[in-house]
């Protein structure tokens, strides 16, 4: 018996397969994205109170990042850990979108945020001490105080083939501010929120 029902509003490459039991599998251009949006929580980012500094602008709160300095008393960085969703297709890059604003006016300046990431598969893997670094430099333009920006990072899922990122992996993330190539911002960069975007190819799986 044919277990496929095809929907092709755009073309033959966009369709979904419906099996007799879950999960429903999405294929071709029918695959869609899911975004995980964990809150940035002051107490879970650092055990040491006050690092990074929590600031408020109107109703919005964020963590203020100076240039990173590798000293025990000045580890101004943000951490997060997430479990890769079961619905992830295990065949595409992962994207992290970070939202931030300028603490002060920074006309025609630049700032550079660096993502560090690593993963492991619970059970088969030992927890690694390595990391992959992804810096993204952003131009401020007019750079008014409190101007907001979106910074997009790409996590290359198969950069360490055959140790690719797969569903249910534990994915660790860290964000630092490092020196820009030129005209670095003088003030700090306030990180307000982030989201991690995975391409999914399943519906109806028993877990996230």
Domains of the chain with CATH codes: 1-30 (no CATH), 31-203 (2.60.120.260)
Q: Looking only at Cα atoms, what is the longest distance across the chain?
A: 66
Beta strands 189-200 and 94-102 are antiparallel
Q: How many CB atoms lie within 10 A of CB 54?
A: 15
- Whether 59 shows a pLDDT value over 90: the answer reads yes
Can you give the pLDDT at residue 79?
87
Encode pLDDT of 7-53 as tens digits: 555 555 555 555 555 566 666 555 556 666 665 554 445 545 567 88
- Distance, in Å, from the CA atom of 101 to the CA atom of 150, rounded to the nearest integer, reads 9
- Whether 197 shows a pLDDT value over 80: the answer reads yes
The arithmetic mean of pLDDT across residues 187-207, rounded, is 83
- Whether 72 shows a pLDDT value over 90: the answer reads no
Can you give the pLDDT at residue 47?
47
> What count of Cα atoms within 13 Å lies in the side-chain half-sphere of residue 113?
29
Helices (H), the chain: 42-45
- Distance, in Å, from the CA atom of 187 to the CA atom of 102, rounded to the nearest integer, reads 7
Q: Which comes out higher in pLDDT, residue 15 or 93?
A: 93
Name every residue whose Cβ is closer than 8 Å to that of residue 155 and which is 6 or more positions away in sequence: 93, 94, 95, 96, 115, 117, 132, 134, 165, 171
* Contact present, 68 and 59 (Cβ < 8 Å): no
The arithmetic mean of pLDDT across residues 140-155, rounded, is 98
Name every residue whose Cβ is closer than 8 Å to that of residue 49 and which is 6 or more positions away in sequence: none
SS3 category, 45 = helix
């Amino acid at each position: 018996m044919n277990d496929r029902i095809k929907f092709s509003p755009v073309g033959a490459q966009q369709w979904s397969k419906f099996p007799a039991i879950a999960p429903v599998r999405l294929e071709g251009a029918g695959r869609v994205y899911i975004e995980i949006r964990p809150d940035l929580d002051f107490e879970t980012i650092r055990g040491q109170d006050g690092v990074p500094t929590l600031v408020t602008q109107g109703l919005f709160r964020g963590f203020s990042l100076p240039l990173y300095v590798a000293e025990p008393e000045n580890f101004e960085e943000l951490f997060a850990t997430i479990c890769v969703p079961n619905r992830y297709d295990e065949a595409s890059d992962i994207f992290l979108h970070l939202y931030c604003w300028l603490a002060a006016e920074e006309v025609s300046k630049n700032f550079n945020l660096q993502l560090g990431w690593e993963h492991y598969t619970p059970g088969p893997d030992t927890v690694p001490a390595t990391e992959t670094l992804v810096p993204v430099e952003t131009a401020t333009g007019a750079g008014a105080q409190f101007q907001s920006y979106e910074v997009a990072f790409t996590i290359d899922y198969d950069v360490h083939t055959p140790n690719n990122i797969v569903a249910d992996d534990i994915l660790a993330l860290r964000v630092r501010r490092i020196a820009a190539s030129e005209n670095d911002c003088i003030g700090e960069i306030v990180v307000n929120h982030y989201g991690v975007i995975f391409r999914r190819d399943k519906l109806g799986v028993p877990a996230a």
